Structure 1
Amino acid sequence: MERLIPVLKRDRVDVELIMLIRTILAASKEISFRVSQGALAGVLGSTLDKNIQGEVQKNLDVLANQLLIDMLLGDDSVRAIASEEEDFVIAGHRGAPYIVAFDPLDGSSNVDVNGQIGTIFTIYRAVEGIADDSELQFLQPGNRQLCAGYVLYGASTQLVMTTGGPTRCYTLDSTHGGYLLTEEVARMPSVTNEFSVNLANYRYWAAGLQDYFNRNVFNADCGQPLSMRWNAAMVGDIHRIVCRGGLFLYPHDSRSGHENGKIRLLYEANPLAMIVENSGGKATCLGARILDLQPRSLHQRVSVAMGSKQQVDEFDQIYQKSHIA
C-alpha cells in the first residue's frame, strides 16, 4: 500500500501544502488515540461551557480543538485559523500562504456512546491585503479550496481527502503511525435507495419538503421505498454516502435559529461538498451549488442536500416546484 506523501507528490501537490496537511494529520492521530482510550483517558462527558454555536461542549471537543490550534500555530505556513468552536479568527504567522478552517469533532454528541465522530478540515490560500485575524480571510467561496478532508474515528481511523483531483481514502496504520492509501479513487453511485435525514424534524419542515417524504417514504405505493440511515454525525453519514451512495439532507425549518439551515458553510458544507463532488456526487443549497455560494459570515449556516446526483436532482426539482424557501 502506498503512503500518503508519495500519493500527494504524484498528485503534484505543492510541498509546502503537503507539510501543512501533515501537520493537520499529526493532530488527528493524537485525537484518534484519545478517542480509542475513551473513559480510560478521562475524555468523556461534557464541560459547563457552550461554544459560539450555543452547543454544550464535550470534553473531547475542547481537547481536539486545542490540539489542532496548537499544532497549526506551530506551522509557519499558516496565516490564520478558524474553528467551529471559536468565536473569532486566530492569527497565525504574518505573510504565511495558507488559512485553515476546521470542525474539530463533528458528531460529538456520539462521544459518550462510542458512536461515529470525525474531524473536518479545509485549506484555502490566504488573501493579501486583509488582516490575518479578519474573518474576511475566510469569506471565500468553497470553489477556492485547495484541500478538503475529514478523518473518521470508527472501527478504524480513516482519512478521506481531495486536493482538487479525485477523492481518495486512506486508513491509519497504527503499527507504523502513517496513513496508507486504501481506495485510489472514491466513486459514488449515481443513485441508491438510502437517505440520511433527521425525520424527528419533519413537523418543522415546509409543506413542499414534507411532500417529498410523503411520496418517497410514507407512501405504500411509491415503488421501491427509500431506506433511512442516520448517524447523528454528518461526517459519518457523508462517509457512508461517499462509499455507497445515497442522499444526505439537513434542510432549514421553522424553528428559531434554523430558518437558514443548521450546517455550517465554512466548517462542514464546503469541505464535504468538495469531497462529494470529487467522488462523483452533487452538493446543493436550495438548488444552488454549495461550492459557488459567497459566504457572508464566519459561522454562517445553510441548508444542505448532498449525495448521489440523481437523488439530489430529484430533491431539488421538488424543492423548486414547491417553493419551499
Structure 2
Amino acid sequence: MEESRIATPIGTTLDRFIKNNQENFKYATGELSQLLRDIALASKVVNREVSKAGLVDIIGTLEAHNSGGEQQKKLDVLANIRFTRALKKGGEACALISEENDSYEELNRDGKYIIAIDPLDGSSNIDVNVSVGTIFSIYRRKTEVGTPVQEIDILQKGTEQVAAGYVLYGASTMLVFTTGHGVNGFTYEQSLGEYFLSNADIKIPKDGSIYSINEGLSKDFLPSVASYIDWCKEQSFNARYVGSLVADFHRNMLKGGIYIYPATTKKAEGKLRLIYECNPLSFITEQAGGLATDGNGRIMEIQPTTLHQRSPFYVGSEKLVERANAGSKVK
C-alpha cells in the first residue's frame, strides 16, 4: 500500500496558521495572536464541559439572571468563568465585556485589547442536546496602556474590531474567525487536542434559499418583515431555525440564506446584543462576502451608547439581505 494512502495529512493547526499569518494582523506584535490562542484554549475547556452535559450536574438553571434579565443556565456561568480565567491569565486583554456580567470587568491595565463575548449562546438548548456556541469580538483599546479602562474603550463601533469569531459546539466543534483578511474555519480534533484548518477562505453564497426567523413572533412582526417572509414562502424557501444563533448563522453562511431577528411591535430595539453578538457576526459576514444590517443600515456603523445595547439583525447572503432591507424602507 502506498505511503500516501495510509498516512494522509490532517492539515494545518490553528497555532501554525496564526504564526504563518501574523503579518496580516492589524497590530502584529504578538499580543493578538496570543489572545486568539487564549480564546481557543478556553473553548476546548468549554467543549469538554458541554460534552458532559447530562452526565454531571451542569445542566439546568440557576436562581441568578444575566445582564438582560434572563435566567442563567449553569453552563452559562461555567463558560463565562472559563473564558474570563483564560483571558485574565493570558494578560493581553485589559477588559472583558460579557453577556453574563452587568458591567465590564477590568483584567489587566497593561493589556492592549478589549474582549466582548457571549460565552455560551443558545444555552437554553443544552438540555435537549442542540448545538450551542460562543461568540467573541476583539477591539484595540483607545486609552493609554497602564491607565484605567474608560468608556471610550468599551463603546466602540463594529468597524473598530480587529478580530471576531465564534465557536460552534455541535456534531463537531468548530472555531471560525477573521482578523480582517478573510474568514477561516478550524475543526477540533479531540484525540490530538488541536484545531485544524478545515474550511479555508469561507465565502457566503451571494444568494440562497434558506430563511431563519422565529415565526412564533409573527403576530408581532412589522408589515415589512411579514411581507418579506411571505415572499420567502412564495419562493419555496426552506425555513430553518433552531434557536441557537451560532448554529443558524453557521449553516446559512455555508449554504446561503438569511437570518433575521427583527424589531417587533413589542421590542422595537430587537433582542440581540450589538457589541458581542451582532458586531462580531457582522464582521465575519462582511469578510465572507455577505451583508449585515439592522434592516436599514450597516450594523458595524452603529455607535453603541450602552454596554448591552440591542439591535434588530438581518445577516447573510447579499441578495437576500438587500431585498429584506429594501422592503423595510418602504413606508
AA matched with 2:14: L
Answering whether residue 63 of structure 2 is matched by residue 63 of structure 1, we say no
After TM superposition, give the deviation of residue 286 of structure 1 in Å.
Answer: 2.4
Among candidates 222, 245, 254, match of residue 243 of structure 1 = 254
1:235-270 CA distance string (max 9 Å, x none) = 111100111110000001122xx2211110011000
After TM superposition, give the deviation of residue 109 of structure 1 in Å.
Answer: 0.8
Secondary structure of 2:243's counterpart equals coil
Answering whether residue 6 of structure 2 is matched by residue 6 of structure 1, we say no
Answering whether residue 197 of structure 2 is matched by residue 197 of structure 1, we say no
Distance 1:213 1:181 in 2: 36
1:262-283 CA distance string (max 9 Å, x none) = 1100110000011111111110
AA matched with 2:309: Q
Partner of 1:107: 122
Distance 2:309 2:197 in 1: 34
Which segment drifts farther, 285-294 or 305-314? 285-294
Partner of 1:44: 59
Partner of 1:83: 98
Distance 2:232 2:197 in 1: 37
Distance 1:100 1:313 in 2: 30
Which segment drifts farther, 149-158 or 40-49? 40-49
Answering whether residue 40 of structure 2 is matched by residue 25 of structure 1, we say yes
Among candidates 199, 202, 206, match of residue 183 of structure 1 = 199
Among candidates 223, 246, 251, match of residue 207 of structure 1 = 223
Query: How does the TM-score come out when normalised to structure 1?
Result: 0.94
Partner of 1:314: 323
The answer to whether the 8 A contact 2:143-2:149 is kept is no
Partner of 1:270: 279
1:204-248 CA distance string (max 9 Å, x none) = 11222212223332xxxx3x3121000101111110011111000
Residues 215, 243 of structure 1: alpha-carbon distance in 2 compared, 3 angstrom cutoff: closer
Answering whether residue 178 of structure 2 is matched by residue 154 of structure 1, we say no
Distance 1:74 1:18 in 2: 15
After TM superposition, give the deviation of residue 133 of structure 1 in Å.
Answer: 4.5
Query: How does the TM-score come out when normalised to structure 2?
Result: 0.92
Query: How many residues are treated as equivalent by the alignment?
Result: 315
Answering whether residue 301 of structure 2 is matched by residue 292 of structure 1, we say yes
The answer to whether the 8 A contact 2:125-2:244 is kept is yes
The answer to whether the 8 A contact 1:158-1:172 is kept is yes
After TM superposition, give the deviation of residue 311 of structure 1 in Å.
Answer: 0.2
AA matched with 1:250: Y
1:82-102 CA distance string (max 9 Å, x none) = 101100110111132111110
The answer to whether the 8 A contact 1:106-1:233 is kept is yes
After TM superposition, give the deviation of residue 129 of structure 1 in Å.
Answer: 5.2
Secondary structure of 1:48's counterpart equals strand
Gaps of at least 5 residues in structure 2 are 1-10
Which segment drifts farther, 123-132 or 282-291? 123-132
* Identical pairs, percent: 37
After TM superposition, give the deviation of residue 135 of structure 1 in Å.
Answer: 4.0
The answer to whether the 8 A contact 2:295-2:324 is kept is no
Which segment drifts farther, 245-254 or 285-294? 285-294
Partner of 2:143: 128
Distance 1:115 1:135 in 2: 37
Which segment drifts farther, 147-156 or 132-141? 132-141
Which segment drifts farther, 60-69 or 33-42? 33-42
1:104-128 CA distance string (max 9 Å, x none) = 0000110100001001111110121
AA matched with 1:243: L
Among candidates 35, 41, 50, match of residue 35 of structure 1 = 50
Secondary structure of 1:112's counterpart equals helix
Answering whether residue 312 of structure 2 is matched by residue 303 of structure 1, we say yes
Partner of 1:168: 184
Distance 2:148 2:299 in 1: 25
AA matched with 1:34: E
Gaps of at least 5 residues in structure 1 are none
Over the residues paired in the alignment, what is the CA RMSD in angstroms? 1.4
After TM superposition, give the deviation of residue 132 of structure 1 in Å.
Answer: 3.6
AA matched with 2:292: A
